[in-house]
Amino acid sequence: MGERVAMISLHTSPLDQPGTGDAGGMNVYVIELSRRLAAQGIAVDVFTRATSSTLPQVVEAADGVLVRHIAAGPFEGLTKGELPGQLCTFAREVLRTEAAQPLGHYDAVHSHYWLSGQVGALARDRWNVPLVHSMHTMAKVKNASLAAGDTPEPASRVIGEEQVVEAADLLVANTDTEAQQLVELYGASPDAVEVISPGVDLEVFAPRDRAAARRALDLPQDAVVLMFAGRIQPLKAPDVLLRAVHVLVEQDPALRHRLVVPVVGGPSGSGLEHPTALADLAAELGIADVVRFVPPVSQGELAVWAAAATAVAVPSYNESFGLVAVEAQATGTPVVAAAVGGLTTVVRDGVSGLLVTTHEPRDWAHALRRLVDDPALVERLGAGAVAHAREFSWERTAERTLDAYVRAAGRMRAALAS
């Protein structure tokens, strides 16, 4: 493997705060993978669209990791749905950046999300280097499990994804489930798909004393803390947690005095159309007094919130992986998750948390009630959560990704020779 990788993350910058707008697990993925690749001697240039005129053209995000802000379209106000119109401008600037360097400056392109894959395919052909692509989410999967009231992904995205699957030398899937979806739904060749799990920063997300975490956040020691962390949008289904809490309080009114339900994150995607929808729902359900809305926080602070929780709920309708579930488990907190997508890999039912097969509030209330009523179960699952999370490290992800770059180069040479 060569010395330098072009990482393309068009629609969201690894420098953005996860938990709001379009920033989420993918941001964490790109910056953490880049940092670990750099630690192994691979220089990384991350190309992302500039969203402010005040951003420097180049930022050193970490030793060996440069973030290059590309001007493409108006700095602010563009939704993800409007970004396809800026693909040509973005691609032109990426190619221009490389053209100012000595020949053979990049040894591989790694694109993230379909928009970046479109640019990556062009760079691959122009630079004659392999393209490795990570989908992160897929329109066909998302449209098959839409939340009520959510907007389906457009046909243009489906077509764009199919084109990227065809163009990439190697596709990186987060889980076996995602690999299967790439093959079955997008016609990917099975030997063109590599399963590489994302990691978790086990230094930041480490077991810590729950009592100390609660003191740091000014939470009562005897509280039942049922937490949601992530972008507030229908796909992530924070409303399912709120409706389940409403059922819990109906079943046991005395529980209300001990309940704290932190919702850590900001509106995103179709959730931006009704930014107060979740607060309105809490009021409508009569649980506004127990729900606490917390703006997006740093990784370090998120780790404290997770450690303070009795359980972290991940009720998403679809997750290709579910990074927040691994992060929560790494702090020693069990996760109650929907049995969808990557969450069935990330959470071991009955070992590190509980999986719920529906999005029915009563089913979620039943799972949460098991933890509320049984502190010994919380402790047992918490210990299992720490052990399970140790299986996911960014160092291992980087090593396997480096191998994928080498394999992609081999596949590209073989294709050219045939």
Which residues are annotated binding-site positions for 1D-myo-inositol 3-phosphate? 11, 22-27, 80, 113, 137, 157
338: its two tokens: 């929907």
Pairing relationship of beta strands 224-229 and 291-294 according to DSSP bridges: unpaired
Cα–Cα distances in angstroms (integers) from residue 213 to residues 127, 216, 257, 383, in the given order: 50, 5, 20, 17
Binding-site positions for UDP-N-acetyl-alpha-D-glucosamine read 17-18, 25, 231, 236, 297, 319, 327
Strand partners, 58: 68
The helix-helix angle for 277-285 and 238-251 (nearest 10°) equals 10
Residue 87, CB half-sphere, CA atoms under 13 Å: how many?
Answer: 18
Asked if 332 and 386 touch (Cβ cutoff 8 Å), the reply is: yes
Give the whole-angstrom CA distance, residue 373 versus residue 377: 9
Give the whole-angstrom CA distance, residue 401 versus residue 387: 23
Q: Count CB atoms within 10 A of the CB of residue 1.
A: 18
Binding-site positions read 11, 17-18, 22-27, 80, 113, 137, 157, 231, 236, 297, 309, 319, 327, 333
> Rounded to 5 degrees, what are φ and ψ at 72?
-150, 100
User: 148's torsion region: left (phi>0), alpha (psi -120 to 50) or beta?
Assistant: beta
Binding-site positions for Mg(2+) read 309, 333
Q: Count CB atoms within 10 A of the CB of residue 245.
A: 26
